């Protein structure tokens, strides 16, 4: 579905959400599980954030607003686009990554050694509570509520484009919902890459559509 997505113009009266995964974080680079703990971007992640800003400044210059998670690595990714475009910014905690509880901040290898069955079940998108944190069912509900509210807001204002800076888990969750996949089926989707763009669209008839997924051709 990503072929031919650019150049892309939102049809009149529709709402396009450009879902941006944050750039590579220091913990991404180190193989550490993140969840909702704050951590900043690596040098590569900062370069990816700038590349995203350069791209959306041209491809989505008509964007009406920016929405983002309140986690540091997302705020750092969004910052260059915010500075370049000067758009209103909506900070929404519903766009956070899944809460991994006590697993957050631990190397994946350590969690695998100590909690192998639970980690493998979580990676299969089963409804376990990782590190006594948040289940995927809970995450799906809050993320989709945030995404659906944002789409409705843009639609109510006459349509257009919103840039949404968030995390890999929420993007796969949103895309799976748009595609009508059963809960847990998002595990079949390609992992969302740092700095990638995925586009979903809400049309006036109330139907959501997937326009592009995991685009990285704008990155260095």
Residue 132 is among the residues annotated as catalytic for this protein: no
Please state, in angstroms and rounded to a whole number, the distance separating the CA atoms of residues 114 and 133. 16
For the residues of 83-138, what is the DSSP string, one character each?
HHH---EEE-GGGSPP--GGGTTSBHHHHHHHSHHHHHHHHTT----GGG---HHH
β pairing state of 197-202 and 208-215: antiparallel
Catalytic residue among 24, 55, 97, 134: 97
Please state, in angstroms and rounded to a whole number, the distance separating the CA atoms of residues 63 and 56. 9
Catalytic residue among 22, 55, 60, 167: 22
Residue 97 is among the residues annotated as catalytic for this protein: yes
Say which residues have a Cβ less than 8 Å from residue 106's Cβ, sequence separation at least 6.
32, 33
- Collapsing DSSP to helix, strand or coil, 51 comes out as helix
Beta-carbon neighbour count of residue 4 at 10 Å?
A: 9
Beta partners for residue 90, in sequence order: 67
Do 79 and 91 form a contact (C-beta atoms < 8 A)? Answer: no
The set of catalytic residues is: 22, 97
């Amino acid at each position: 579905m990503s072929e031919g997505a650019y150049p892309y113009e939102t049809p009149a009266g529709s709402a396009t959400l450009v879902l941006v995964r944050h750039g590579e974080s220091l913990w991404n680079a180190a193989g550490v599980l993140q969840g909702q703990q704050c951590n900043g971007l690596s040098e590569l992640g900062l370069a990816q954030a700038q590349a995203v800003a350069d791209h959306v400044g041209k491809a989505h210059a008509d964007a009406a607003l920016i929405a983002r998670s309140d986690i540091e690595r997302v705020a750092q990714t969004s910052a260059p686009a915010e500075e370049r475009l000067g758009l209103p910014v909506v900070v929404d905690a519903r766009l956070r990554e899944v809460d991994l509880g006590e697993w957050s901040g631990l190397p994946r290898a350590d969690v695998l050694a100590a909690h192998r069955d639970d980690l493998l079940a979580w990676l299969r998108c089963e409804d376990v509570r990782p590190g006594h944190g948040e289940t995927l069912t809970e995450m799906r509900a809050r993320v989709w509520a945030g995404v659906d509210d944002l789409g409705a807001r843009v639609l109510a204002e006459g349509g257009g484009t919103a840039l949404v800076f968030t995390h890999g888990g929420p993007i796969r969750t949103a895309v799976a919902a748009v595609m009508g996949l059963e809960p847990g089926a998002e595990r079949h989707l390609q992992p969302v890459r740092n700095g990638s763009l995925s586009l979903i669209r809400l049309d006036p008839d109330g139907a959501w559509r997937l326009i592009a997924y995991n685009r990285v051709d704008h990155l260095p």
